[in-house]
Chains A and B, each alone.
Chain A
Amino acid sequence: MTDYAALSSFLVAAVGLAVPLALAALGETVSERAGVINIGLEGSVIWGALGGALGSLAAGPYAGLAAGALAGGTAALLFAFFAVWLNTDQIITGTAVTIGSLGFTGAVFQSRFGATGIALDLETVSAWEVPLLSRIPVLGPALFDQAVTAYAAYLLVPLLGWFLFRTRWGLALRAVGESPEAANAAGVPVVRTRMLAVVFAGLMAGLAGAHLSLVHTGTFAENMSAGKGFIAIAVVVLGRWNPGGIVAAALFFGGAEALQFALQALDADLPYPLFLALPYVLSLAALAGWFGRSRAPAGLALPWPR
């Protein structure tokens, strides 16, 4: 009986921790399919967390989720202005956006709440229990007693799969990522497509950040994104740029993170920094083990026009 309860609570935690990774990685897939890798995704996540916190204080948790998404999208728009419109180096621009976002979110937070950083106590987004489905043993509570962000991620998977592989727009977007020259010759607006794809990824990463502050913790702390945006980019590679694969990879990392909490609960003397390092080590190991079985979009990270 206790084993059963432990497994169930482990799965609830795993799915909850996978949700922000899945949201950010699903968005980034669209961006990378269009040929843009955005290392500034981490910046969108931290802006999403702060936007979520401020929005929640102003108008409640659901407004917070919207504000978080918008904040993340705005950071991505800034990235797109440089890396797509001005055509600067994507990697370096993304790094700058991440550094600046970590700095300026800290500045906004401190000017609003003081340099000592009082612990914010935010109203959180409560879980929605789906009738009947949440009663399924073990898996039910894990999958169907989550916050709205989890259901958004579930919906996004088939929607993106359909959009990317079954619609003309999706085809055009993938063409932009594979061969911008060919897409351009066929009349697809390369720059506009890339801008939109990057902003969509930013919106999703912002929602992921708002999940961190409004679902996962109920507070905001400087640097609380803690590399989630970077892991999301690894998740895109592991998920082979496919929505289904990305969900599987995100759950894998959610599980790794949840494991750390479960193990700590078992024995408080275990050195927790090593468990904190686990998801990053697993990311590296998985990248090494998985790679070569899939191919990145051919135009990824390349400038346009060349």
Chain B
Amino acid sequence: MTSSPTDAARRRWGSAHAGLRAAASATAALLATLAIAAGLLALGGYPPGEVFAALARGAFGSWDRFASFTLVRATPLLLTGLAVALAFKAHVLNIGAEGQLHAGALAGVAIALLLPGAPALVLLPVTLLAAAAAGALWASVPAAMKTGMGIGEVITTLLMNFVALFLAQFLVQGPLRESRGIFNQTDEIPAAAHLPALIPGTRLHVGFLIGLVIAVALWLYLTRTPGGFRVRAVGASVRAAEVSGRFKAQPVIWLTFLASGAVAGLAGWIQVGGITHRMYEGLSPGWGYTAIAVALLARLHPLAVVITAIVFGALSAGGGAMQREAGVPEVWVRGMEALVILAVLTVDRVLQVLAGRGSRD
């Protein structure tokens, strides 16, 4: 109310400064990861230089590699990364994006297969809504257990992941199995349910754009609205938020948990609608878990998630080339994701100590 123009300018400079610092520490964490990965690769008998070169060629070697592989692989990571970032903002430790993603994919596929004659104008919004609802539904179980019974969400969301994986397995082996009955997968969804291409001539689809829109919307919500302020307040301290007497934390936790599940649910369906056009076992190589690294590296900032999702999309796209050209098993990429998380945590810690704050806040 009483802020003068200079105050506003100072605030803006302050937040730009904080943004620079976050970018610098994220870069430091990435460089540390690369250094450690290089050491481990050398230890495993692989020449790190060649491996990284193969990885870079696979991810950025051509316009098509970038659009059809890096950005396509970044799309589910962008959506699940946003889901995790939103939840973690409210200190809801949703480790269940993997399960919510599967729930969303199953719901979208089921609707698309149930309505074979429907036009795209109906099918696209309905399947997207169904996927978001299914993801939210999957998140509602741990949300209810957390808010109603005080059971920590970490274990419950992890357990729900396994239930979703086996449910998907059951459905593609049984009720939703393709009519040919050869593979454990569903029939191809009708063309009207396919997500349109975003850039003609590449595999990049509208799903990436949906991810960008959600990123901007989340950023505006978190920084510019009272609801977003409540999410951040609850994340900083449930007690402080409640003691202030302005609002109750429980509804905020509920809403954040459900919204996080909904976005993760979208990730699953968007992958099927945009790329695979059917559901099968092993749709996700663990995007819901990689999402944690994506969100943390972005410091839970929705716009930064766009960048970190592309970084991890590149890692995933390059992983295949790494295996083909340098003989390094693709599972190394999973290991590197873990290194990124540990490096982010360590860099944060070192910065805290350097800033003279010996203990965590």
Q: Which residues of A are in contact with B by a Cβ distance under 8 Å?
A: 37, 39, 82, 86-89, 91-93, 95-97, 99-104, 106-107, 110-111, 115, 222, 226-227, 230-231, 233-234, 237, 271, 273-274, 276-277, 280-281, 283-284, 287-288, 291-292, 303, 305-306
Contacts and interface: CB of A to CB of B under 8 A. Distances in A.
A103 B335 contact: yes
A231 B170 CA distance: 21
A82 B345 contact: yes
Contacts of A292: 149-150
Interface string B108-148: 00000000000000000000000000000000010001000
A280 to B, nearest CB: 4
B163 A281 contact: yes
B345 to A, nearest CB: 4
B162 to A, nearest CB: 4
A95 B341 contact: yes
B360 interface: yes
B342 A82 contact: yes
Contacts, number: 149
A305 B335 contact: no
Given A92-B296, A93-B341, A230-B158, 5 more contacts: A87-B359, A273-B169, A287-B145, A291-B151, A303-B360
Contacts of B348: 88
Interface stretch (B8-16, B250-258, B325-333): B325-333
A95 B331 CA distance: 17
Interface of B: 44-45, 93, 95, 141, 145, 149-151, 154-156, 158-160, 162-163, 166-167, 169-170, 173-174, 286, 289-290, 292-293, 296, 323, 329, 331-339, 341-342, 345-346, 348-349, 358-360
Given A106-B329, A303-B359, A99 B345 contact: no
A239 to B, nearest CB: 14
Contacts of A291: 149-151
B162 A280 contact: yes
A89 to B, nearest CB: 7
Please give me the 6 A-B residue pairs with the lowest Cβ-Cβ distance, nearest first.
A100-B338, A103-B334, A106-B331, A103-B335, A277-B166, A96-B341
A122 to B, nearest CB: 21
B160 A284 contact: yes
Nearest to B166: A277
Contacts of B166: 273-274, 276-277, 280
Contacts of B346: 82, 86, 88
28 contacts: A37-B154, A86-B345, A88-B342, A88-B349, A92-B345, A95-B95, A96-B338, A100-B334, A100-B338, A100-B339, A103-B335, A104-B334, A107-B331, A107-B335, A110-B329, A115-B329, A227-B158, A230-B159, A273-B169, A277-B170, A280-B159, A280-B166, A284-B145, A284-B160, A284-B163, A288-B149, A291-B151, A306-B359
Contacts of A99: 286, 289-290, 292-293, 334, 337-338, 341
A231 B158 CA distance: 9
B162 A222 contact: no
Secondary structure at chain A's binding surface: helix, strand, loop or mixed?
A: helix
Contacts of A100: 334-335, 337-339, 342
B122 to A, nearest CB: 32
A16 to B, nearest CB: 21
B138 to A, nearest CB: 12
A151 B259 CA distance: 47
Nearest to B45: A111
B163 A277 contact: yes
B154 A91 contact: yes
Given A86-B345, A271-B173, A237 B155 contact: yes
Contacts of B335: 100, 103-104, 107
B151 A288 contact: yes
A277 B93 contact: no
Given A99-B334, A271-B174, A287-B155, A89 B162 contact: no
A110 B349 contact: no
A233 B338 contact: no
Contact of A86 (B167, B341, B349, B358): B349
